[in-house]
Structure 1
Amino acid sequence: MYQVRVKFEDQIANWSAPEDYSKVAIHLAGLPNTPLPVPGITEFLTGQGYALLQPHYPGTHDSAGVFDPYATHVIVPAWMSALERGLVIDLGKSEKLEAKEDVSLLSSHSYGTYVGMRALREGAMVDKAVFFCTSFAYGKLGRQFGQIDDKSSSARYVRDAFPLTFRTERQDAIEEFYVEHSHDDLHMAPAEGVTDCFVVSPGADETSDPKVSQSGALNFLRSHAERFSVGGNLIAEGAGHAVASMLNEQVRSELAKWLNTEGVR
């Protein structure tokens, strides 16, 4: 597997690819995250034949700008377009990265599921999307997606323990996002095509109710059948919050089958 940092304008991402990949995916991490490829999902998706791009969100790690938890979704169509147009630079080789295919899969975890779904709701199009620890909204709206605490301690931890990693314009931005609201009414912008979705919930995550998480995500997807179909859903029994924990044998098997079945466009 080939791993390198890549660059688009002043933004940085990790690029992990098998030598002979046939598909391209983007994975959106939760908070906090590391600047390295996410364990578990990287090995799984590259093993399924995907080249995988994992962005450093604006204003985090090595990407320039300010981290605004409400606006991170704009990077999804930006990176998709940059890959498709050949504008991404492979920093290992100091040359343009020639992606063999357009982005066909969006993978996301926790906070990343908000980012990914927001991008899709704003019109980004991919064949398939998988959501781990679904939170399509936070604050009061987040309860319908299984949140069972107010996230205040988690938000303060991200703010206080990683002040240079998550560089916000306002000190209270992350806590406001998680605890009060994500400034979003889950609106749906017009777009053409249907994205096939798979929802995975952890069975032993103290911060969420897996049954409510599943029902909330599935109800939302099914209420927008013009944009989404449901290709599968699982509760990863005994799994904690991390993606690697959720990728147990059953989840890997079912996801592999789904990834190798054509979705609906």
Structure 2
Amino acid sequence: MQAFVRNKDILADLYLPKKDKNNKIGIVWLPGLPNQPKEALLGNRISEAGFTMLHPRYPGSWQSYGNFGPTSSLEGALLALELLSKRKTIDLASQNEVEWDVNHLILVGHSYGGGIAMCAQGVSQLSDATIVFSPLLEAHLQNEDPLYPEDDLTTLYPYLKRCHENTFRNLDVNEWENFLKGKHPCNPNRYIDVLVKNPILLIHGEEDTVIRPYHTENFYNKLKRNGSDCIDLMMINGAGHDKTLPVDTFDLWSEWIKKRFSII
């Protein structure tokens, strides 16, 4: 079952499993940039496997309200967790009430959304684990190593402003500059002391040249050095910065969830 739902500034697609398949795990899916407003392939795959999935539009993007930026993206992730934790809402299309049953909530994000997911894990009490794919964890260190060139993130603001002005609205150039310099609340490195206490799965393609995998390896090692005993790293041979990575590796990370939460 699929519903279109809202919590304050965010609108979202809600994918619900059949009751006899429900494993009582809720997933908040946070995409990269730019993104599409629907993730039907991923949402259907996840719900068919027994998970409940909520795919929010970041505030200020697509049908959601407000302004778009890293700060509001983090707020949107928290609003999505809040909505899933309520276990019922109204389907905006039919105006009927929809209900679901979840015991655990997990943040899942790709690229930009991976960094947002990690920050949300650092400030929320609602999420029980985080899974990220090719995450943007060290924006301030992007292109630091000349031997491993990667995407120039300084082009992101003008690109969104020029090419997606009506999709990602009211961007603040100063906020984006601070974000890329690591001087912003959306810097996962600020939350190390909290993240070491939470189950985390990092997944990165070995052939990724958009965000090099060594950033994810650095973050993994930092968490291990600070005492984390519930973090795992999967490097995917032959994979790049593919939007299909979450679907292609579904069996791997869904199995990780089942083992972590003892789902038979």
Which TM class, normalised by the smaller chain length?
A: 0.7 to 0.9
| Equivalent in the alignment of 1:84 | 85
Q: Equivalences for 1:105-124 in 2 at 5 Å?
A: 105-124=106-125
| Equivalent in the alignment of 2:66 | 65
Is the 8 Å Cα contact of residues 205 and 239 (structure 2) preserved in structure 1? yes
Q: Equivalences for 1:149-160 in 2 at 5 Å?
A: 149-160=151-162
Equivalenced residues, count: 255
Is the 8 Å Cα contact of residues 199 and 230 (structure 2) preserved in structure 1? yes
> Aligned equivalents of 2:241 and 2:123: distance in 1?
27
Task: List per-residue Cα deviations over 1:73-124 (Å, max 9, x = no partner).
Answer: 1233322223323563212331333221144221111111121111111133
How has the CA–CA distance of structure 1 residues 16 and 123 changed in structure 2, closer, same or farther, with 3 Å as cutoff? closer
Q: Equivalences for 1:93-104 in 2 at 5 Å?
A: 93-104=94-105
Structure 2 unmatched ranges of 5 or more: none
Structure holding more helix per residue: 2
Structure 1 unmatched ranges of 5 or more: none
> Aligned equivalents of 2:107 and 2:238: distance in 1?
25
| Equivalent in the alignment of 1:54 | 55
TM-score, with normalisation over the residues of structure 1? 0.81
| Equivalent in the alignment of 1:239 | 239
| Equivalent in the alignment of 2:184 | 183
| Equivalent in the alignment of 1:28 | 30
Task: List per-residue Cα deviations over 1:237-259 (Å, max 9, x = no partner).
Answer: 222323314643xx333223212
How has the CA–CA distance of structure 1 residues 243 and 187 changed in structure 2, closer, same or farther, with 3 Å as cutoff? same
Matched to 1:62, the amino acid is Q
1:68 deviates by 2.1
Is the 8 Å Cα contact of residues 26 and 84 (structure 2) preserved in structure 1? no
Matched to 1:26, the amino acid is V
1:199 deviates by 1.0
> Aligned equivalents of 1:102 and 1:74: distance in 2?
22
How has the CA–CA distance of structure 1 residues 191 and 229 changed in structure 2, closer, same or farther, with 3 Å as cutoff? same
How has the CA–CA distance of structure 1 residues 187 and 193 changed in structure 2, closer, same or farther, with 3 Å as cutoff? closer
Task: List per-residue Cα deviations over 1:129-148 (Å, max 9, x = no partner).
Answer: 1110122241337859x983
Task: List per-residue Cα deviations over 1:41-100 (Å, max 9, x = no partner).
Answer: 324422431110011001000011011223421233322223323563212331333221
Identity rate of aligned residues, in percent?
Answer: 20
Is the 8 Å Cα contact of residues 29 and 107 (structure 2) preserved in structure 1? yes
Matched to 1:96, the amino acid is E
Task: List per-residue Cα deviations over 1:25-50 (Å, max 9, x = no partner).
Answer: 111111111111264x3244224311
Task: List per-residue Cα deviations over 1:142-172 (Å, max 9, x = no partner).
Answer: 859x9834312344322211101101243x3
Is the 8 Å Cα contact of residues 152 and 178 (structure 1) preserved in structure 2? no
TM-score, with normalisation over the residues of structure 2? 0.82
